[in-house]
Copies of this chain bind each other. A is one copy, B any other.
Amino acid sequence: MSYANDMPETSERRTGGAGDGNELDMAAVNALRTAVMRLSRRLKHQRVDESLSPTEMSVLGTLARCGSATPGELARKEHVQPPSMTRIVAMLEAKGLVRLEPHPDDRRQKTVTQTERAESMLAASREKRNAWLAELAGRLDDDEWERLRAAAPVLEKLAHS
């Protein structure tokens, strides 16, 4: 079945700038919200390493992208409070996935960098996600999958903004 065609194409949205969302947008946002909440709950069960929380995974992903960062930077990027990030980083360090070093310029701060173990752990994670993807792919047709792929970067942007 076709989804977007259930509603008029690229309709009268945002005619005067932000703030005048119409009913169609609301429906989409509604669907998005529900789906994201439920999906996130499912994803919680998709851990590679049982002892690695989704946010810990996310932090490793961020580190893989950005190289190294201070706890404060990570907290801001993950939209988490500093104390939470302290504990997350401590966990990761205890598991040998991350290394904490004194900051070169500022002795209050620390720099967090991922270890080689984190590298291979992320690879293992990719494997596990692969299995999830296979299961997922079986339930989507090509069109659906294409939509998902097209939207993924937008979701990322949204989540990051």
Contacts and interface: CB of A to CB of B under 8 A. Distances in A.
Interface in A15-51: 17-21, 24-26, 28-43, 46
A139 interface: yes
Interface stretch (A68-76, A86-94, A107-115, A150-158): A150-158
Given A28-B149, A154-B148, A38 B79 contact: yes
Contacts of A153: 3-4, 31
B79 A41 contact: yes
Given A21-B130, A43-B37, A28 B148 contact: yes
Contacts of A144: 154, 157
Majority SS at the chain A contact face: helix
14 contacts: A18-B135, A20-B134, A26-B129, A26-B130, A32-B155, A36-B43, A38-B160, A42-B79, A42-B159, A136-B158, A139-B157, A140-B154, A140-B158, A144-B157
